[in-house]
Amino acid sequence: MANTLSSKKRIRTTARRTAVNAARKSRVHTFEKKLETALKTGDKKVAEEAFRTAESEIMRAVSKGVMHKNTAARKVSRLSARVKAMG
């Protein structure tokens, strides 16, 4: 258990940051799911719009430090390929 004031504060800070990061990851997953449903319906216009929003959300997660840059690039690349393959 933490004894010093600074270690107690670090526990509180870590808990807050963990909650914020979990919310950001959840947003990314939500937008990915929306894109998945758009891909399943087969409507290319809706899928492209969903891809744009998902891509911006993924890159926002990178800028906030939630996701690694290369992981995000890989995800965006794979999603982009799937959207392009619809046509």
The domain ranges of the chain are 29-87
Residue with tokens 């939630």: 66
* pTM of the predicted protein model: 0.85
Residue 1 structure tokens: 């258990």
The structure tokens listed for 70 are 């290369």
Q: Which of 78, 64, 76 is nearest to 22 (CA)?
A: 64
Q: In this predicted structure, what is the pLDDT of residue 51?
A: 97
Per-residue pLDDT tens, the chain, 87 aa: give them: 889 999 999 999 999 999 999 999 999 999 999 999 999 999 999 999 999 999 999 999 999 999 999 999 999 999 999 999 987
